[in-house]
Amino acid sequence: VSTWINGRRRTTIDARDRGLLYGDGVFETMRVRGRRVRLLDFHLERLLEGCRRLAIHAPRAALLRREIAACAARRPEAVLKLIVTRGPGERGYRPTGAEPATRILTLQPLASAARPLPPVRVRMCKTPIGSNPSLAGLKTLNRLESVLARSEWRDARVWEGLMGDLDGHLVCGTMSNLFLRRGSTLMTPLLDRCGVAGVMRRWVLAQAPNLRLRSWQGRFAWDTIAEAEEVFMTNAVAGIVSVALIERGQSRVKLAQTETADRLRARLEQL
């Protein structure tokens, strides 16, 4: 694992950084393939959108591109994580507006969780996702809900956990987004109240017309899974991951089809 902080090789950050004090920042977890970052434009767009909505002074895109390219070039396959925090601050929640953002780049080897052998097993988590339209869709450093949900199981055969909101709607996985297909309709939860709008989710939604699928973002409950013909999950590092089994307490839903995920994966490989 190698780390660069504000462009320099460092391993520590200022203990007054608001990223630590309040989770006041955003991040991207990117897949390096062939020494380049996959879906880089989408990652940068979401990062900068997050900075805009949180009123963080975002680093210039050209600077980020340069640093990311130099970092990615060091390994053929890797995970590249970029954190941007509001930077060190005074005491108190209110930003002065003058904080210089901190950027932290970390290059790490691909972990096994990043290379699942689909179709995978998934479980429904008890930890709910709280709704807050102000933060919905963003990948902020406030990730305790994901930490608690991911702490619910240790069985390495279960790849991911599904999370729902307090009204019982499915929202996303702890580290991925959810897609259901029935016929030629591709459904994914609407993320206007909570959840992280993944870059791979965005890419899949953009591909849908090419696969003659009608995509639909909405609210749906657990029961909808039983009506799905195919379920897959997406994240920027692992890509498109078919789901064979979903567990929720004692009930289990088995899924046999992987056709859409297979076609999407083939397209993704061509990028």
Residue list 235-264, contact with a second copy (CB under 8 A): none
According to the binding rule CB under 8 A, does residue 178 interact with a second copy? no
At residue 238, what are phi and psi to the nearest 5 degrees?
-80, -20
Q: Which window, 69-77, 93-101, 211-219, 242-250, contacts a second copy (CB under 8 A)?
A: 93-101
Distance CA 75, CA 73 (A): 6
The HSE-up count of residue 266 (CA atoms within 13 Å, CB side) is 8
Closest distance to a second copy from the beta carbon of 215 (Å): 27
**Which residue in the set 104, 186, 197, 264 belongs to the binding site for a second copy (CB under 8 A)?**
104
Distance CA 34, CA 12 (A): 29
**Which residue in the set 16, 115, 214, 252 belongs to the binding site for a second copy (CB under 8 A)?**
16
The H or E element spanning position 149 is helix 144-150
The first and second tokens of residue 74, run together, are: 């060091």
**Which residue in the set 81, 219, 263, 267 belongs to the binding site for a second copy (CB under 8 A)?**
81
Q: Are 118 and 261 in contact (CB under 8 A)?
A: yes
Q: Which window, 38-46, 101-109, 196-204, 247-255, contacts a second copy (CB under 8 A)?
A: 101-109
User: What's the CA angle centered on 261, arms 260 and 263, to 5 degrees?
Assistant: 65
User: What's the CA angle centered on 119, arms 118 and 124, to 5 degrees?
Assistant: 110
Judged by CB, which is closer to a second copy: 134, or 250? 134
Distances (CA, A) of 33 to 39, 43, 158, 222: 11, 15, 25, 35
Residue list 149-168, contact with a second copy (CB under 8 A): 149-151, 154, 166
Size of the site for a second copy (CB under 8 A): 62
According to the binding rule CB under 8 A, does residue 106 interact with a second copy? yes
According to the binding rule CB under 8 A, does residue 22 interact with a second copy? yes
Closest distance to a second copy from the beta carbon of 77 (Å): 15
Residue list 27-46, contact with a second copy (CB under 8 A): 27
Nearest residue to 200 (alpha-carbon basis) of 261, 111, 252: 261
Judged by CB, which is closer to a second copy: 151, or 184? 151
Closest distance to a second copy from the beta carbon of 94 (Å): 4
According to the binding rule CB under 8 A, does residue 215 interact with a second copy? no
Q: Specify the pairing of strand 214-218 against strand 8-9.
A: unpaired
Q: Is 207 strand, coil or helix? A: helix
Q: Specify the pairing of strand 214-218 against strand 251-254.
A: unpaired
Distance CA 125, CA 135 (A): 21
Residue list 113-152, contact with a second copy (CB under 8 A): 113, 127-135, 140-151
According to the binding rule CB under 8 A, does residue 234 interact with a second copy? no
Residues that bind a second copy (CB under 8 A): 1, 3, 5, 10-24, 27, 54-55, 79, 81, 83, 85, 91-95, 104, 106, 108, 111, 113, 127-135, 140-151, 154, 166, 174-175, 193-194
